[in-house]
Amino acid sequence: MRACIGVVILAVFVAGCGGNQQSAPGTVTYNCPANAVEVAVLQKEIPAFAETSGVTIVLHPFSGQEKLYAMMAADKAPDIFYTNSTMRDELAASGRLLDLRTVAAHDPFVGRLWPHVVDGGMAADSGWYSVGNWEFTCGVYYRKDMFDAAGIAYPDSAWTWDEMVAAARALTRRSGPGGAPARYGIYCGSHFVEALEIMNGSRFPRGGTRLELPATSREVYRRYLDLMNDGLMPDLRTVQALGMQAPQLLQTGRVAMLVEAVPHQSLIEALTVPWGVAPLPRFPGKAPAYFRSASGGLSISSHTADARASWKALKWIIGGASTYQPNPVLRDVDFVGGWESRYAALRGSGFREVWDLSLRHNGGDPRFFVRFSSWASAPIMERLQPLLDRVWARELPVDELAAHVDEINRAARTQIETSLRTSVYGSSFRARIETDLQTMEVAPAP
């Protein structure tokens, strides 16, 4: 018992060490990803940055949305943290984020960013609230050995959906128990279907307030489901149940082609088999529009004690910290060359072509959680997602999903109106939401 009480006394002494080491001028707290390697690299480089800039960065690696909101409620938000498009406008509208224009005016760093990266951080009031800290596109990774064995030519940058389906058919091996495929031709997670929608001509304005499901999108949904219906792609629930992640699917030969993010660090590091990567297949007669992510970035808290120090730290994280270099959000870095020198397997893999195509034909980020404005996203997604899940489980026909669109928009509109009455939004945001509501044409209830 005495020993236990001794431990308690020790704990009381040790427990109080540190605490609230934030919000002092010149000291900036950063909610970095909880990754031991990343933290170690940053911690090693921070002293040198502090020496040259006079700004000390304190890392807070254990982040999470619940924690961030709790910290904000207690006015203890970290100075720099990650926000995605779903939460950014909402936080900006309630005055939680610093408008970066106040600290970044005339800063040459802004000129180093791709214009679409700057645009992606703008909110409805034209304020600039986040700087994209990373970007990626997506493509089709494929096993070269399997293509060779099947006598199929590797995909090129102009390959079409039908060619991809033909390749998947030729690569599928039905030698499993009961004729089940031991190897599937392709796997494409449902979160990449939105990228295929823009390839088929669907266009979505950023910050939308209503759900639209054009014929071009519905056609993609049907084609995607056909991959499963024809046994060319594993059922999504089967993949979930297996617990396998993308690299493992391709590495173990469960699939011959895989739609995934480009570049995908863990996939590149994990693959030991010969592989290549091709752009997403094109749809006949449609202009190419490749996926380019713009969902999130780093924001600065409006309660930061030293806005200029926070801006300096943010710039260093994006453009200086070695763990994030070369950073694709910067236009003056050789991103492809940097990655090719880091990973020899990327040379001649098709990575350069895929990346260049996504820059030349930037179709933006059409993902559902990015597609809608901050206030419309939750009202729409909480109704749409369960229906989408049923569509991907092949329990709900695509046409029936389309029949729900008006109902979803009506409910979303009601919810946005309620939120406008009950939430504290800045005047410019309020005016913008009101304008959106006025222009939001919703079919009357039947």
State both tokens at 129: 């609230």
- The token duo for 216 is 């071009």
The smaller minimum CB distance to other proteins, of residues 8 and 149, is found at 8
Distance of closest approach, residue 7 Cβ to other proteins, in angstroms: 4
Parallel, antiparallel or unpaired: strands 296-300 and 80-84 = antiparallel
Q: Which of 25, 33, 205, 348 binds other proteins (CB under 8 A)?
A: 33
Q: Which amino acid is at 62?
A: F
Distance of closest approach, residue 183 Cβ to other proteins, in angstroms: 13
Q: In whole angstroms, how close is the CB of 73 to other proteins at the nearest point?
A: 5
Told to check if 379 binds other proteins by CB under 8 A, we report: no
Tell me phi and psi for residue 176, to 5 degrees: -80, 175
CA distance 200 to 223: 11
Binding region for other proteins (CB under 8 A) out of 14-22, 368-376, 390-398, 435-443 = 14-22
Backbone phi and psi for residue 278, each to the nearest 5 degrees, phi listed first? -120, 155
DSSP letters spanning 375-386: HHHHHHHHHHHH
Residue 37 sits in the site that holds other proteins (CB under 8 A):
yes
Q: Min. distance of Cβ 70 from other proteins in angstroms?
A: 4
Residue whose CB is less far from other proteins, 261 or 396: 261
CB 383 within 8 A of CB 408: yes
Please say which residue, 60 or 96, places its beta carbon nearer to other proteins: 60
Cα–Cα distance, 139 to 193 (Å, whole number): 12
CB 209 within 8 A of CB 373: yes
Determine the 3-state secondary structure of 286 from DSSP. Answer: coil
- When asked if residue 179 is in the footprint of other proteins (CB under 8 A), the reply is no
Nearest CA to 398 out of 238, 192, 165, 225 is that of 225
Applying CB under 8 A, the span of 221-229, 238-246, 311-319, 375-383 interacting with other proteins comes to 238-246
Question: Residues 241 to 280: which contact other proteins by CB under 8 A?
Answer: 242-248, 252, 265-266, 269-270
Q: What is the spatial distance between Cα 125 and Cα 244, in angstroms, rounded to a whole number?
A: 42
State the DSSP H helix or E strand holding residue 139, giving kind and residue range, or none if neither. strand 137-143
| Candidates 17-25, 89-97, 165-173, 400-408; binding stretch for other proteins (CB under 8 A) | 17-25
Q: Name which of residues 50 to 79 contact other proteins (CB under 8 A).
A: 58-62, 64, 66-67, 69-71, 73-76
Residue ranges that bind other proteins, judged by CB under 8 A:
4-5, 7-8, 10-12, 14-21, 29, 33-39, 58-62, 64, 66-67, 69-71, 73-76, 242-248, 252, 265-266, 269-270
